[in-house]
Amino acid sequence: MLTAKQHELIRFIQQRLEETGISPSFEEMKEALDLKSKSGVHRLISALEERGFIRRLPNRARALEVVKLPEDAVTGAGQAKPVNDTGATMAATVTAKSVAPEPANDIIDVPLHGRIAAGAPIEAIEGQASMPVPAALLGPGEHYALEVSGDSMVEAGIFDGDFALVRRSDTARDGEIVVALVDDEEATLKYLRRDGGRIRLDPANGAYEPQVYESHRVKVQGKLAGLLRRYH
């Protein structure tokens, strides 16, 4: 059984797919549902995905597919509207392919979601861009990229201006480098350590102090899978 917000979100996504063939951005979903942060959208999408109502199309930005609608989602004469491989879903797939073709050979396009701090936490922005990444740098799972801002992870070989390749995950082991969301608002790239009932986010630069938070304030958004660096 879906919550009211889950109902509202899946209907909004389906409406946008029918109108444009492209799923809405996280910012558009946040505004449509009057949510305070995009992390709330992430949670709703994950819940709908777990229940089999939507599916993420891998390695594409803004690519959601509505697999089925709730039983009380009616159209026209009041009949429940099934979602299959035709109609809006097919239109979304065709349009997505025309906008972002399948990468050839061993290059994959991953969503580029703005900047992330390797210093004091800053907002991690949901973007609509993408960047090509060699498939050899990515393992299994869904990935996204973030541009690194700051120097607190230099001793781990992560520098300002690098692009962090992140595998989506909401769990991590002690000592792994993660994207940590603090208070549902700010994200940072750090080593994760558990210290009793608290979470410690450790830098890799002696000039910075660890950041310690109550465990409920920190959510893991992904684990570092690789790095890309531009040389000018």
Name the maximum alpha-carbon separation found in the chain. 67
| 168 Cβ contact partners less than 8 Å away, ≥ 6 residues apart | 141, 142, 143, 144, 221, 222
| pLDDT for res 41 | 81
Say yes or no: 118 and 220 in one domain: yes
Say yes or no: 65 and 160 in one domain: no
Instruction: Identify the band that residue 58 occupies on the pLDDT scale cut at 50, 70 and 90.
Output: low
CATH number, position 36? 1.10.10.10
- To the query of whether residue 223 is one of the catalytic residues in this protein, the response is no
| 209 Cβ contact partners less than 8 Å away, ≥ 6 residues apart | 203
- To the query of whether residue 81 is one of the catalytic residues in this protein, the response is no
By residue range, what is the domain housing residue 117? 111-228
Strand partners, 65: 55
| pLDDT for res 207 | 92
- Which secondary structure element, helix H or strand E, spans residue 130, and what is its range? strand 129-134
CATH number, position 156? 2.10.109.10
Final residue of a structural domain among 99, 131, 161 = 99
The catalytically annotated residue of 38, 130, 149, 190 is: 190
| pLDDT for res 134 | 79
| 16 Cβ contact partners less than 8 Å away, ≥ 6 residues apart | 22, 23, 24, 28
Final residue of a structural domain among 50, 70, 99 = 99
Say yes or no: 95 and 148 in one domain: no
Answer for the pair 69, 14: CB distance below 8 angstroms, yes or no.
yes
Say yes or no: 95 and 122 in one domain: no
pLDDT for 159 beyond 80: yes
* 117 within some domain: yes
* 104 within some domain: no
The catalytically annotated residue of 23, 39, 149, 152 is: 152
| pLDDT for res 38 | 74
Chain segment 191-212, per-residue pLDDT in tens: 999 988 899 999 999 999 999 9
Answer for the pair 118, 153: CB distance below 8 angstroms, yes or no.
yes
Chain segment 69-122, per-residue pLDDT in tens: 887 554 433 333 444 443 444 333 333 333 444 433 467 888 888 778 776 554
Say yes or no: 142 and 33 in one domain: no
Say yes or no: 76 and 139 in one domain: no
Final residue of a structural domain among 99, 121, 141 = 99
How far is CA 111 from each of CA 52, 66, 97, 118, rounded to the nearest angstrom? Answer: 23, 20, 15, 20
**Which residue in this structure is represented by tokens 């930005």?**
61
